[in-house]
Amino acid sequence: MDLRVFTEPQQGASYDTLLTVAKATEDLGFDAFFRSDHYLSMGSADGLPGPTDAWITLAGLARETSRIRLGTLMTAATFRLPGVLAIQAAQVDQMSGGRIELGLGAGWFEQEHQAYGIPFPPEKFSRLEEQLAIVTGLWRTPRGKTFDFEGKHYQLKGSPALPKPAQSRVPVLIGGHGAVRTPRLAAQYADEFNMPFSSVEDSRKQFARVATAAQAAGRAPSDLVYSNALVFCVGTDEAQMARRAAAIGRQVDELRVNGLAGTPDEVVDKIGRYSEAGSARIYLQMLDLHDLDHLELIASRVMPQLG
Summary count for the chain: helices (H), strands (E):
12, 12
295 pLDDT exceeds 90?
Answer: yes
What is the pLDDT confidence band of residue 145, given thresholds at 50, 70 and 90?
A: very high
The per-residue pLDDT of the chain, averaged, comes to 97
What is the pLDDT confidence band of residue 90, given thresholds at 50, 70 and 90?
A: very high
164 pLDDT exceeds 80?
Answer: yes
State pLDDT tens for residues 96-142.
Answer: 999 999 999 999 999 999 999 999 999 999 999 999 999 999 999 99
Summarize the confidence of residues 186-207 as an average pLDDT. Answer: 98
State pLDDT tens for residues 61-79.
Answer: 999 999 999 999 999 999 9
CA distance 176 to 179: 9
What is the pLDDT confidence band of residue 177, given thresholds at 50, 70 and 90?
A: very high
Coil/strand/helix, residue 7:
strand
CA distance 226 to 210: 9
Q: pLDDT above 90 covers what percent of the chain?
A: 100
Summarize the confidence of residues 245-259 as an average pLDDT. Answer: 96
Provide the pLDDT for residue 307. Answer: 75
* Cβ 223 vs Cβ 214: under 8 Å: yes
Summarize the confidence of residues 151-168 as an average pLDDT. Answer: 98
pTM of the entire predicted model: 0.97
Summarize the confidence of residues 18-32 as an average pLDDT. Answer: 98
State pLDDT tens for residues 46-65.
Answer: 999 999 999 999 999 999 99
Coil/strand/helix, residue 281:
strand
